[in-house]
């Protein structure tokens, strides 16, 4: 059975747009027998990495900061698939997600190895997990995800989790706008199907990823929103 750990990094937690995508994705995965757990970073006490490198030098594999991260790292070590779900904040991830990712430093070794023409820090542990990125942003254009995607590609290249899919939705702010759910039916189905695919096929299929990246529907709605007929102003957005 696939063990999926979802790390949710929106400051809005379960009431935000990222969570709509994540919940559908996990429902799809559960329908194929995956065991899932969602961790809301906003509910945890995760301090910033202080850059002391204690987890490399003084107490290898263990961070000197005593907070909720130790328990979370244990969960990361046990999962088959790590889902990192964050909205775009200032062209990248939220600070909650970044703090979490910085604090993953104990999972890698301090020394360098050379693979091909790349230098890497090897993993401290043998067990590997794959990664899925789930994100949405305010603007109706894929370009807003460039920095975030680049970050995840580098992470993969450096050997920290093979990317098996990215579920991205530009203009994700529309997800919670009353009256729009019907327009976004294809998106909802794709979120669910992505969860199914990741269990059945080991990755999200490119055609499923494409559906949630569709700019045309969302851009059309976006330019009329919130004054378009049938829409109740800004209701549902905040
Ligand atoms: C501080 C802040 C920074 C943001 N930066 C961006 C941005 O750079 N690009 C963008 O398209 N949307 C940006 N947004 C919009 C969010 O990505 C959008 O509201 C998203 O739906 C939030 O997801 P959530 O409801 O799960 O928190 C920003 C929002 C906030 C509050």
Q: What pLDDT, in 10s, does the model give residues 116-167? A: 888 999 999 988 999 999 999 988 889 999 999 999 999 999 888 899 999 9
Give me the residue spans of the domains in the chain.
Answer: 3-224
pLDDT at 219 over 60: yes
Q: How far is the CA of 183 from the centre of ligand 1 (A)?
A: 21
Task: Taking residues 36-45, report their average pLDDT.
Answer: 98
Question: What are the pocket residues of ligand 1 if the criterion is a CB atom closer than 6 Å to any ligand atom?
Answer: 10, 12, 16-18, 87-91, 136-139, 144, 172-173
Q: Confidence class of residue 177 from pLDDT cuts 50, 70 and 90?
A: confident
Report how far residue 84's alpha carbon sits from residue 95's, in angstroms, rounded to the nearest whole number: 13
What pLDDT score does 210 carry? 95
Position in ligand 1 atom list of the atom nearest CA 16: 25
Task: Taking residues 192-212, report their average pLDDT.
Answer: 97
Q: How far is CA 132 from CA 18, 80, 114, 128, 160, in A?
A: 13, 11, 26, 14, 12
Question: pLDDT digits over 15-34, tens only?
Answer: 999 999 999 999 999 999 99
Instruction: Kindly report the pTM of this predicted structure.
Output: 0.94
Token digits of residue 35: 């065991």
Q: Whose CA is nearest to atom 4 of ligand 1?
A: 89
Summary mean pLDDT of the chain: 91
Count of other CB atoms within 10 angstroms of residue 61: 14
What are the percentages of helix, strand and coil residues in the chain, rounded to 5?
Answer: 40, 20, 40
Of residues 225 and 146, more confidently modeled: 146
CATH of span 3-224: 3.40.50.360
Position in ligand 1 atom list of the atom nearest CA 137: 17
pLDDT at 238 over 70: no
Report how far residue 174's alpha carbon sits from residue 222's, in angstroms, rounded to the nearest whole number: 8
Q: Which residues contact 195 (CB under 8 A, 6 or more apart)?
A: 24, 25, 26, 27, 28, 29, 30, 31, 32, 34
């Amino acid at each position: 059975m696939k063990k999926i750990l979802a790390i949710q990094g929106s400051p809005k937690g379960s009431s935000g747009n990222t969570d709509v995508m994540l919940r559908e994705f996990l429902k799809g995965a559960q329908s194929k027998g995956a065991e899932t757990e969602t961790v809301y970073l906003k509910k945890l006490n995760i301090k910033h990495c202080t850059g002391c490198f204690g987890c490399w030098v003084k107490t290898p594999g263990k961070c000197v900061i005593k907070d909720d991260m130790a328990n979370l790292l244990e969960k990361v070590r046990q999962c088959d698939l790590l889902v990192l779900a964050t909205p775009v904040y200032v062209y990248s991830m939220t600070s909650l997600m970044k703090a979490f990712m910085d604090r993953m430093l104990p999972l890698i070794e301090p020394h360098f190895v050379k693979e091909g023409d790349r230098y890497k820090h090897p993993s401290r542990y043998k067990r590997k997990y794959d990664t899925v990125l789930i994100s949405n942003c305010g603007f109706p254009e894929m370009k807003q995800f460039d920095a975030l995607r680049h970050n995840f590609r580098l992470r993969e290249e450096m050997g920290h989790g093979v990317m098996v899919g990215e579920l991205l939705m530009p203009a994700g702010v529309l997800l919670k706008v009353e009256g729009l759910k019907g327009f976004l039916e294809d998106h909802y189905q794709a979120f669910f199907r992505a969860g199914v695919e990741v269990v059945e096929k080991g990755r999200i299929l490119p055609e499923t990823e494409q559906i949630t990246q569709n700019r045309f529907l969302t851009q059309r709605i976006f330019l009329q929103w919130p004054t378009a007929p049938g829409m109740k102003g800004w209701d549902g957005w905040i």
